[in-house]
Structure 1
Amino acid sequence: MTDYATMANRQRKWMLYALAISFAGWGLTDYKPVFAGLILGLLVGLFNLFLLQKRVDVIGEKAANNQAAKSFGMLSRFAAAILIVVLATRFPEHINLFAAIAGLMTPYLVIMIDFIFHHKETTTTKRGE
């Protein structure tokens, strides 16, 4: 498995952990609209992360073969974000808008944190070497 595939699997795993914690919070607490918004945002964020990872993989293969590649599909990710906002504003008693937006932004936070830890792990050397 390549380093990129390992990284993509690790990021999806962390997103699924966050989703499981959100489902537990929705089921066990009285903050159902907050956790419902978080779950909705995390689901769409996980979908967007999956799309982004697949398109990066395709673009990387095309670049290795000196072929032209399409864009990263920003329009579909924006459309998913707009859908979340529409649902949260249509049903504010069931879905918290701010929690949904926080859930939507979580994959990008996961990517940054994963990069920091992976970069730290691969570049640490002993003093004097």
Structure 2
Amino acid sequence: MPEFRVIYNRQRKWIFYLLSIYVLGWGFTSYKTIFSGLILGTCFSFLNLWMLVRKTERFDKAIAKGKKVASLGSLQRMATAAIAAIIALKYPQYFNIVFVVAGLMTSYFVIMIDYFYHAMKIHK
């Protein structure tokens, strides 16, 4: 399981890099709603990633002890995505809903890119 934590820390670093680029885009361009939508969506995406890691660690510990596990919290992660969408719909002058949804997918893109990058690195 320590390897799992290393993977999460690496992905967290890349999400923070993306967030810093989004903040710079928000600050220095005229596309405020686009970048604020990306920031909001990516923050909620990071929250979903963190919850998934926490639930997965609990799942691993429970399986190791031979206990039953209810779920990995899919409904909870969908609810946080819905909250981000509701915020964007409530304040369309600040957040672009399309880019909030794109930001919500950020952690999944980071996971896939991280996997392929390290798979290619290992096979070299």
Bin the TM-score by the shorter chain. over 0.9
* Cα distance in 2, alignment partners of residues 76 and 9 from structure 1: 22
* Cα distance in 1, alignment partners of residues 117 and 65 from structure 2: 31
RMSD: 1.4
* Cα distance in 2, alignment partners of residues 35 and 58 from structure 1: 34
* Cα distance in 2, alignment partners of residues 66 and 119 from structure 1: 31
In the TM superposition, what is the alpha-carbon distance from 1:69 to its structure 2 partner? Answer: 1.4
1:36 corresponding residue in structure 2: 36
Q: Look up the SS of the partner of 1:30 in the other structure.
A: coil
1:116 corresponding residue in structure 2: 116
Give unpaired runs (5+ residues) of structure 2: none
* Cα distance in 1, alignment partners of residues 116 and 60 from structure 2: 22
1:91 corresponding residue in structure 2: 91
In the TM superposition, what is the alpha-carbon distance from 1:120 to its structure 2 partner? Answer: 2.3
Bigger Rg, which one = 1
The structure in which a higher percent of residues are helix is 2
- Residues 6-17 of structure 1 correspond to what in structure 2 (within 5 A)? 6-17=6-17
Normalised by the size of structure 2, how large is the TM-score? 0.93
In the TM superposition, what is the alpha-carbon distance from 1:59 to its structure 2 partner? Answer: 0.7
Q: Look up the SS of the partner of 1:72 in the other structure.
A: coil
Identity %: 38
1:74 corresponding residue in structure 2: 74
* Cα distance in 1, alignment partners of residues 117 and 70 from structure 2: 30
